[in-house]
Structure 1
Amino acid sequence: MNIPIIYEDNHLLVVEKVPNLPVQEDASGDQDMLTILKADLKERYNKPGNVYLGLVHRLDRPVGGAMVFAKTSKAASRLSDTLRKRDMERTYIAVVHGRVKQQKGTLEHYLWKDRQKNEVYAVDSKKKDAKKAILHYEVIGREEGYTMVRVKLETGRSHQIRVQFQTIGHPLHGDQKYGGLRVKKGEQIALWSSSLSFPHPTTKEIVTFEAPLPKGMPWNLFD
């Protein structure tokens, strides 16, 4: 499978995740990003034995876009620290149903994950294991019953963007899990990891990587 490489050096591998491909091996037994990329590194650099590639952050299976992996354990440790300190800026573009009225806003909810169902819910803050979720959004455009938003995560909770927008009445186009009756079977979720920005693990210089938006519906409404 061809996974586009956005940037690579001795420490980082930044790629464009293919939608509907799991990040790592799961119960489905389907091909996964980590295994494919390790095999590619092994072949390209003719490496003997096991190839190291550190998983730094995740994207939901149906979501595509920019994603960074660490090529050394030191880089993985430093990038994990960067994430923990919230020094990695992750920007997403989403197309949601309906007209989001406020041009800019912040969403704060407490989210709880049902691990058996792999579903996340907005709950009361007092619920056991509920975690605070914060995101900031800005409206980019409004077309034909849809709103395109740029989203910056302050926290990185499971299914966060999808659940928070669904909770305020604006589910994501094509979200088969949380979109409800507005979503048609077979539609692709309109959520894309558009850019990553963080201090390079060795040079400390701020580096930024972008993945161009997909073509087709509903993205083309906003061309």
Structure 2
Amino acid sequence: MTPSTSVNTQHHIIVAHCESYLTAHGDNHKGVGWPNYDDAQLRYQVMLDGLLAAVPAGQHVRLLDFGCGPAHFCEFLQQGQYASRIEYTGLDLSERYLALARQKFPATTFLQLDVLQESDALPTFDYIVLNGIFTQKCSNSFEEMWAYCQDMLRALWPKATRGVAFNVMTKQVDWERDDLFHVPMDLLATFLKKEITRNFVLRHDYGLYEYTTYLFREPNRW
């Protein structure tokens, strides 16, 4: 499916907005838009726990960190128990973020490409993680962001041989920020079942104002 021009414009706007965090705060959690360090670390753990729960202990997996920024997820992996199990690859549109990532991890593969325009250039991976890609809509409307989210999941699903994980802001809050992407669960679930897979998990139990969705190729025998 060829994405619309408007959708392509929206995700480049989001990348530019995220780079403004790097200018303001440097190479840290605030430099990628996360206000709290501990919450950022929790997100990494939640992404891994949901995907790797179905992988036998010791089994090697290939993981793509989509929208990797300055590779903070790679730093998290190297400090934990998963380092020997995961072959990490990062991808981002931002040259500034990628320059930092490559400086810190010169032996790691980092890709710079627009998947909505160059999907054939993206290899396959066991798992694809999108952490924070769908949490901010910036100046975009909900409709524009929802179209982008759908187009991106359609493009990435064929590239994941086992599963995908991503987070969005929850509607189960007292108030919503206009610049964040709060997605109704029933809207997301209907789309996933119709166009992606019926093998999915919505996780809303880790204390942040968001939820994480895991998509699986096969029924997940937890």
TM beyond 0.5:
no
Flag the structure with larger Rg. Answer: 1
Provide TM-score, normalisation by structure 2.
Answer: 0.31
Which is richer in helix? 2
Structure holding more strand per residue: 1
